[in-house]
């Protein structure tokens, strides 16, 4: 084992120097000056890296290059650069980094977010495109509606305390229902607990700090014995792998059992497992791709929903006038009070609520740098050399805070979406164009996520009053918000007071739940 490690290290060093000299011979994009061998290790930080990347954009331009021990990192900071590379050249910009820790050691290699670009990835995308096409989303509307209304009761119970578990419970229950046709009737539902545990691991352990572990830079370390000093990551990975695999197999096995018994309601998985298209039916019979695709859908939406909701509440706390305006518009459609819950059919009659949705998505930027793509061959752009194997980040944060497109970008202002503008300006302002990824890695569940989050927003605004908590002297307590997750812009917890708008609304909530 020791000789294999030495050989692997020598091979790695040889490759490093070869790649380094090859890169130096070409004109790389500008960026912070690297240290010899180490690269830009002192320039990087996991916490709110998007702010640092935007500072580089202001200093160096639309395309910025750094490297970490020879691993190229490229930040694309403008819509033009992103569309030129991630969209128009998606055939070579759609790979993922070979993250040894997440994929090999923790067992997440078949999750869509980590799958390398190739045949497996194409199969998964085909399944998701089939089950989540825009035309299929109305089939899920009853499930979304049934999951959204009980959320209000959970939020009221959490008023003044931590509301995030209620949002997590809502997002988890909705995903179990839509993806597997399973109904989580209690917080300790086994399927919900298992999938939430895996989602928490992925977001806060495995991909914490940007998802890059030492073993990802030096893959030979995976051959170390578990007792070796510094090899504690191997024991962690073994335990985490059990959690990941269990979260994939358990809900899928429940679904299959209910299908065999003839008691499974329609869902993403059941629909695909009964697919009549011969090519998709062949995939369905295997089941492997479906169960990993299903699990990926669950994990991808959880933190996005939490981040969006946190920022919606933060925006309303700072701008109560927008809540009153939204409630007036909703009352005009739902009846004063209101007298019923909003539905998807109401959306065309709620332009200000729609504007609030768009501005919350822009302002929150749930995944500010996206998940990095990996370029599969040497390329050139705007006179610069793009080395094969570089990890390419789309700086979504910078694009959704471009002052030329969004005047006063730091200000939460839904009215910007009510202005009459030409089609090109409307497209450049639409946060959906940027927030859900690009090219062949764009989130295929975008229509489902948008539908569920929009109805949640409309329901909360229609039924609840939202206020800052007060201390014993009656003074408002300002939310203490920090962003510590390196991938999602999820904030630390803060308190908010949530009340039903009237006794009639409370009765309506209790009757519906």
- Annotated binding residues for heme, written as ranges, equal 443
**Using an 8 Å Cβ cutoff, are 360 and 473 in contact?**
no
The DSSP symbol for 443 reads -
Q: What is the DSSP string of 445-486?
A: THHHHHHHHHHHHHHHHHHEEEE--B-TTSPBPPP---B--S
**Using an 8 Å Cβ cutoff, are 483 and 48 in contact?**
yes
Count Cβ neighbours within 10 Å for each residue of 4-20 and write b for 16 or more, e otherwise: eeeebeeebeeeeeebb
Q: Cis peptide leading into 431, omega within 30 of 0? A: no
The DSSP symbol for 76 reads E
Q: Which residues are annotated as a binding site?
A: 443
Strands 391-394 and 71-76: parallel
- The CA-CA-CA angle for residues 286, 171, 128, to 5°, reads 30
Range list of β-strands (E), 131-274:
none
Quote the tokens at residue 189: 């539902």
Rounded Cα–Cα distance for residues 17 and 23 (Å): 10
**Using an 8 Å Cβ cutoff, are 302 and 168 in contact?**
yes
Kindly report the backbone phi and psi dihedral angles of residue 385, in degrees, each rounded to the nearest multiple of 5, phi listed first.
-90, 130
**Using an 8 Å Cβ cutoff, are 367 and 488 in contact?**
yes
Rounded Cα–Cα distance for residues 446 and 449 (Å): 5
**Using an 8 Å Cβ cutoff, are 125 and 442 in contact?**
no
Rounded Cα–Cα distance for residues 466 and 11 (Å): 59
**Using an 8 Å Cβ cutoff, are 245 and 107 in contact?**
yes
Rounded Cα–Cα distance for residues 334 and 464 (Å): 14
Nearest of 301, 296, 303, 279 to residue 128 by alpha carbon: 296
Quote the tokens at residue 27: 């004109």
Nearest of 101, 47, 99 to residue 232 by alpha carbon: 101
């Amino acid at each position: 084992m020791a000789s294999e490690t030495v050989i692997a290290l020598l091979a790695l060093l040889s490759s490093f120097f070869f790649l380094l000299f090859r890169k130096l011979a070409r004109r790389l994009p500008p960026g912070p000056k690297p240290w010899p061998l180490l690269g830009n290790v002192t320039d990087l930080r996991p916490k709110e890296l998007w702010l640092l990347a935007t500072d580089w954009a202001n200093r160096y331009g639309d395309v910025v290059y750094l490297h970490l021990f020879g691993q190229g990192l490229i930040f694309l900071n403008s819509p033009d650069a992103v569309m030129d590379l991630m969209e128009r050249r998606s055939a070579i910009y759609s790979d993922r980094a070979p993250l040894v820790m997440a994929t090999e050691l923790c067992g997440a290699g078949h999750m869509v977010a980590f799958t390398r670009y190739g045949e497996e990835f194409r199969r998964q995308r085909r399944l998701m495109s089939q089950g989540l096409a825009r035309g299929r989303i109305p089939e899920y509307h009853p499930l979304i509606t049934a999951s959204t209304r009980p959320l209000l009761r959970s939020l009221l119970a959490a008023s003044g305390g931590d509301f995030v578990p209620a949002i997590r419970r809502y997002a988890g229950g909705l995903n179990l229902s839509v993806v597997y046709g399973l109904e989580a009737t209690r917080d300790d539902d086994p399927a919900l607990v298992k999938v939430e545990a895996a989602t928490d691991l992925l977001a806060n352990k495995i991909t914490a700090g940007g998802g890059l572990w030492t073993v990802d830079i030096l893959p030979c370390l995976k051959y170390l014995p578990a007792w070796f000093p510094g090899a504690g990551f191997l024991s962690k990975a073994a335990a985490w792998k059990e959690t990941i695999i269990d979260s994939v197999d358990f809900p899928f096995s429940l679904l299959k059992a209910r299908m065999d018994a003839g008691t499974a309601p329609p869902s993403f998985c059941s629909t695909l497992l009964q697919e009549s298209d011969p090519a998709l039916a062949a995939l369905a019979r295997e089941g492997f791709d479906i169960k990993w695709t299903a699990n990926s859908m669950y994990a991808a939406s959880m933190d996005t929903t939490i981040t969006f909701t946190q920022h919606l509440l933060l925006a309303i706390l700072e701008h109560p006038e927008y809540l009153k305006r939204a409630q007036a518009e909703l009352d005009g459609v739902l009846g004063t009070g209101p007298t019923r819950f909003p539905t998807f059919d109401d959306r065309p009659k709620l332009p200000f609520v729609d504007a609030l949705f768009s501005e919350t998505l822009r302002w929150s930027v749930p995944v500010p740098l996206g998940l990095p793509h990996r370029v599969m061959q040497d390329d050139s752009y705007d006179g610069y050399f793009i080395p094969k194997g570089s990890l390419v980040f789309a700086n979504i944060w910078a694009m959704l805070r471009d002052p030329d497109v969004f005047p006063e970008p730091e200000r939460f202002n839904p009215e910007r979406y009510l202005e009459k503008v030409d089609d090109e300006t409307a497209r450049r302002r639409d946060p959906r164009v940027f927030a859900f990824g690009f090219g062949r890695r764009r989130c295929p569940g975008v229509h489902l996520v948008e539908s569920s989050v929009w109805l949640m927003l409309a329901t909360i605004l229609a039924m609840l009053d939202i206020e800052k908590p007060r201390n014993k002297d009656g003074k408002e307590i300002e939310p203490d918000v920090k962003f510590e997750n390196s991938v999602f812009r999820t904030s630390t917890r803060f308190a908010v007071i949530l009340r039903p708008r009237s006794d009639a609304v409370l009765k309506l909530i209790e009757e519906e739940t």
